[in-house]
């Protein structure tokens, strides 16, 4: 029972990591029906930005070795600013890799590849600048306890505080995002654009601005996710793209473009990974992809998505 609970909690913890990542991913898809592969890169940049803003130094490799910003901000402030920076990066990516293709009415696959190119270029620029090494935030949560014990006794069930933070943040984010999309005027505009860009434009909605906004939001979400996940463990220039691939499984499982779906998908996959029996531990990494394959073959619209009907 204890083991079950621990595994469940671990699963939820990992799952919220995936969920947090997937939110930005699915937001862009919900508006534009394209997968923004650059999300993983923006996620990584957000983390690096936050790291730099906390005044930490960059290591021994890379062009900017031993670089050190003359600021030393509190983690949460750095996180906020880093996320804003990531948001701005999101807008830049939209302008460079998405807008020209959107204007031309290009195939979503082409847009996906274009964003992939941006992602590869970006993370490798990070490698060029900061080297391939791993970085860590250290114990920046200050006075907070490192972990919490539940149901004490001999073998307590343990959750790390960072995991609780990530879970809490992802829940807050999904609620906030859903509220924005469903209850605000801006959200209505976003939904209109998601339905049909041309009609939305004809209705006088500034679609370009709204699309920029969604990329900004997606970038901010990605930046927050990046910093928090970097906080929870260590990070390097590749960790965004690696999560990015798993993130695909998450958003397909939850339903492409479905915001609560991103959280559901993330939690399900996290828990599934956690419950892989110990003997098969090495196969853990295959879990998201097996799930992805099964979903695509059995129910491509995912758990919460609606089936697409094609008119002949």
Positive or negative, the Cα torsion across 180, 181, 184, 189? positive
- DSSP E strands in the chain: the ranges are 135-136, 147-150, 157-160, 234-235
Q: Which of 124, 134, 184, 234 binds another protein (CB under 8 A)?
A: 124
C-alpha Rg value of the chain to the nearest Å: 20
User: Residue 91 interacts with another protein (CB under 8 A)?
Assistant: no
Binding-site member from 12, 32, 229, 248 for another protein (CB under 8 A): 248
CB 285 to another protein: min, Å: 5
67 binds another protein (CB under 8 A): no
Rounded CA gap, 87 and 94, in Å? Answer: 11
Q: Do the beta carbons of residue 19 and residue 267 sit within 8 Å? A: yes
Nearer to another protein, 76 or 289 (CB): 289
Helix or strand or coil: residue 85? Answer: helix
Is there a contact between 265 and 252 (Cβ–Cβ < 8 Å)?
A: yes
Q: What's the min distance (Å) between Cβ of 92 and another protein?
A: 12
**By CB under 8 A, residue 201 contacts another protein:** no
Question: What does each C-alpha distance from 72 to 68, 122, 137 come to in angstroms?
Answer: 10, 25, 13
Q: How many chain residues are in contact with another protein, going by CB under 8 A?
A: 44
- Strand, helix or coil for residue 295: helix
CA pair distance 33, 213, nearest whole angstrom: 16
89 binds another protein (CB under 8 A): no
Residue from 55, 100, 138, 233 touching another protein (CB under 8 A): that is 100
**N residues, the chain:** 312
Minimum CB separation of residue 54 from another protein in Å reads: 26
Stretch that binds another protein, among 6-14, 121-129, 142-150, 258-266 (CB under 8 A): 121-129
Are the C-beta atoms of 154 and 75 separated by less than 8 Å? Answer: no
- Residue 114 touches another protein, criterion: CB under 8 A: yes
Binding window for another protein (CB under 8 A); candidates: 8-16, 119-127, 172-180, 183-191: 119-127
In three-state secondary structure terms, 255 is: coil
Which of 47, 101, 200, 263 lies at the binding interface for another protein (CB under 8 A)?
Answer: 101
Which residues lie near another protein (CB under 8 A)? 35, 63, 96-97, 100-101, 106-122, 124-125, 127-128, 245, 248-249, 252, 282-283, 285-286, 289-290, 292-293, 296-297, 300, 309, 312
């Amino acid at each position: 029972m204890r083991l079950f609970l621990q595994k469940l909690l671990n699963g939820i913890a990992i799952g919220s990591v995936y969920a947090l990542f997937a939110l930005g991913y699915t937001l862009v898809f919900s508006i534009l029906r394209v997968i923004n592969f650059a999300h993983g890169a923006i996620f990584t940049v957000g983390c690096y930005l936050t790291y730099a803003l906390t005044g930490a130094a960059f290591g021994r490799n890379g062009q900017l070795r031993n670089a050190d910003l003359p600021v030393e901000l509190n983690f949460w402030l750095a996180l906020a600013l880093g996320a804003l920076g990531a948001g701005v990066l999101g807008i830049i990516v939209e302008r460079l890799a998405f807008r020209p293709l959107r204007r031309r009415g290009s195939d979503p696959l082409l847009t996906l590849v274009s964003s992939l190119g941006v992602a590869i270029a970006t993370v490798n620029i990070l490698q060029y600048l900061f080297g391939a090494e791993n970085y860590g935030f250290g114990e920046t949560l200050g006075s907070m306890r490192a972990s919490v014990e539940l149901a004490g006794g001999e073998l307590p069930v343990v959750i790390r505080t960072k995991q609780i933070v990530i879970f809490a943040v992802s829940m807050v984010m999904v609620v906030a995002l859903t509220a924005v999309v469903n209850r605000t005027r801006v959200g209505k505009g976003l939904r209109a654009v998601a339905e049909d860009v041309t009609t939305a434009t004809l209705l006088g909605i500034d679609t370009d601005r709204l699309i920029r906004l969604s990329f900004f939001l997606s970038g901010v979400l990605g930046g927050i996710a990046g910093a928090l996940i970097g906080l929870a463990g260590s990070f390097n220039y590749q960790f965004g793209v690696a999560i990015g691939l798993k993130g695909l499984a998450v958003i397909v499982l939850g339903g492409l473009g479905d915001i609560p779906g991103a959280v559901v998908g993330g939690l399900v996959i996290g828990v599934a990974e956690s419950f892989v029996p110990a003997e098969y531990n090495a196969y853990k990494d295959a879990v998201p992809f097996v799930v992805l394959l099964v979903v695509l073959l059995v129910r491509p619209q995912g758990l919460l998505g609606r089936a697409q009907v094609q008119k002949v």
